[in-house]
Amino acid sequence: MLAVVCMMRTAGAYLDHFIERVNALDELTTLRVIVGENDSRDDTKERLAAWRESADYEVTVLDCGDGSEHFGSVDDERRWRSIAGVMNKVLDEVKDTDREVMYVDADLYWDPLMVLRLLMKLDNMKLDVICPFSMFQGRAFDLWGTRRQGARIARRDPHWPDVAAVGRVEVDSAACLNVMDAHWARVARFGESNANVGWHDEMRAKGAKIWLDFDERVVHP
């Protein structure tokens, strides 16, 4: 069983596209979905409830409203604390029966077949966590959350001085979309001051290796 985990806030602009991708992924593998919803300012709550009732697979929607400010894409500790609060409630719902977990930023463009390939690599290569290269307008995206040996990824190639942008490279953390053995989602949590970076730090402290796969891509709109 694959558990797809994410958070949503005022997601009306992309929710239908996200559901379409999950539906297509459900055609390829057995899955369930866990969504943490945080104080949306549109009809996201109602649409999530309708999805939960109509889906052919299990959809869990958690009320994670925290009254926090609605931030943009900024490096602000208050934002990371809010994200951690939501995602850690979501991760608490990962079950012992879940074999893999896919964490994804819900507004991204991703190919269900790519996720299937990542799941196959995870299994065949006995990996802990594997992540596609995230892009925006042909360049690296999320320069804050993707790091290697303490250095943040550069927007353009070479993304790190000693790394070719092909194949897999071991990293400290990788943002946007992660596919992992569910064990790591059960034993590690987002950091209150550094969100997914702290999540991956805790995984690595407990023995995991995080891999960034330059051969697989996910796109930020």
Architecture of domain 2-219: Alpha-Beta Complex (3.90)
Q: Which residue has the tokens 């879940």?
A: 98
| DSSP string over the chain | -EEEEEEESS-TTTHHHHHHHHHHHHTTS-EEEEEEE---SSSHHHHHHHHHHH-SS-EEEEE---------S---HHHHHHHHHHHHHHHTT--TT--EEEEE-TT-B--HHHHHHHHHHHHHTT-SEEEEEEEETTEE--TTT-EETTEEPPSSSSSSTT--SSSEEEESB--SEEEEEHHHHHH---BTTTHHHHHHHHHHHTT--EEEEEEEEEE--
At 39-58, the pLDDT tens digits run 899 999 999 999 999 999 99
Three-point CA angle 155, 214, 18, nearest 5°? 85
At 157-213, the pLDDT tens digits run 999 998 989 999 999 999 999 999 999 999 999 999 999 999 999 999 999 999 999
Is the confidence at residue 76, as pLDDT, over 80?
A: no
Is the confidence at residue 72, as pLDDT, over 80?
A: no
Q: pTM, whole model, 2 decimals?
A: 0.95
Residue 45 exposure: Cα atoms within 13 Å on the Cβ side: 10
Backbone angles phi, psi at 60, to 5 degrees: -105, 125
The contacts of residue 10 (CB under 8 Å, 6+ apart) are 40, 41, 42, 44, 70
CA-to-CA dists, residue 55 to 17, 22, 51, 107, 136, angstroms: 14, 10, 6, 19, 31
Q: In the structure, what pLDDT confidence band is assigned to residue 66 with cuts at 50, 70 and 90?
A: confident
Is the confidence at residue 81, as pLDDT, over 80?
A: yes
Q: Would you kindly state where each structural domain of the chain is located, as residue ranges? A: 2-219
Which pLDDT score is estimated for 69? 79
The contacts of residue 77 (CB under 8 Å, 6+ apart) are 193
Residue 188 burial (CB count, 10 A): 22
